[in-house]
Amino acid sequence: MIKKVTSADFRPYGRVLDLDTAAFTAAIQAQPATAADSVVYEPSVAAFEALPLFQELAASVYGGMPIEFGHCSGFNEKLNAVEYHRSSEIDIAATDLILMLGRQQDIDYASRQYDTAHIELFFVPAGTAVELYATTLHFAPCSVNGQEFRCGVVLPKGTNEPLPFKLTGKGEDRLLFAVNKWLIAHKESGLEKDGAWIGLTGKNVSL
């Protein structure tokens, strides 16, 4: 069942933001098309960070923190993994898209596992900006009707960059995949080769 981000069911995961996204939508549509059956992520795009929206987000949403404004775009129909940050993430849908969401509170940290039966799906219409709270598990958006999705992604500056230190491999550290990014992958994702922890149990949720 796919729910709406305007429904009460979305409230544990985030909120819809009242933002003018028209200039961003025009800017991201000028980006090259994504290759079929692939997903790209760029943490920082100069054209987006030159928009007045960038300054508005830094001031009114992040309270003056340094931020980065990039995007995630492509073709996707599966969950594959969940990630979380120590901060909210702003997603701006330039096209219709679907978010697969869960709660950090449902992770079993003793086994570092998460049951995908907890995942809920939400439809985000084009032009909508949402804040995903720090405890919201998420990953790449999903396509609608097989079309390319395009989604702006705003996070504290430095998020998703390579870690500048060596991990202990103990406890939650085993999930730390990049700066400010904790990741749990499904065995069908293929992310194990990149060093991701395989801890999603149950189905690899798909549309």
Query: Residue 12: what pLDDT?
Result: 98
Separation of alpha carbons 18 and 129, rounded Å: 7
- Output the pTM of the full model: 0.96
The predicted model gives 1-5 an average pLDDT of 97
CA distances to 48, 145, 146 from 26, rounded to whole Å, are: 10, 22, 21
Sequence-separated (6 or more) residues with CB below 8 Å from residue 150: 28, 29, 31, 71, 73, 93, 94, 95, 97
Residue-wise pLDDT for 95-138, tens only, equals: 999 999 999 999 999 999 999 999 999 999 999 999 999 999 99
The predicted model gives 9-17 an average pLDDT of 98
The predicted model gives 43-59 an average pLDDT of 98
Residue-wise pLDDT for 138-149, tens only, equals: 999 999 999 999
Paired tokens of 78: 């599966």
The predicted model gives 34-47 an average pLDDT of 96
Alpha carbon 96 to chain centroid, angstroms: 15
Query: Residue 167: what pLDDT?
Result: 87
Helices (H) and strands (E) in the chain, counts: 3, 16
Residue-wise pLDDT for 150-194, tens only, equals: 999 999 999 999 999 988 888 999 999 999 999 999 999 999 999
All structural domains of the chain: 2-201 (2.60.120.10)
The predicted model gives 6-35 an average pLDDT of 97
Query: Residue 81: what pLDDT?
Result: 98
Separation of alpha carbons 49 and 53, rounded Å: 8
Residue 79's pLDDT band, with cuts at 50, 70 and 90, is very high
For residue 136, how many other CB atoms are within 10 A of its CB? 23
- Of 72, 68, 67, whose CA–CA distance to 83 is shortest? 72
Q: Percentage of the chain surpassing pLDDT 70?
A: 100
Paired tokens of 142: 């999903």
Query: Residue 135: what pLDDT?
Result: 98
Q: Answer yes or no: is pLDDT of 16 > 90.
A: yes
Average model confidence (pLDDT) across the chain: 97
Judging by beta carbons within 10 Å of its beta carbon (0-12, 13-18, 19+), is residue 52 exposed, middle or buried? exposed
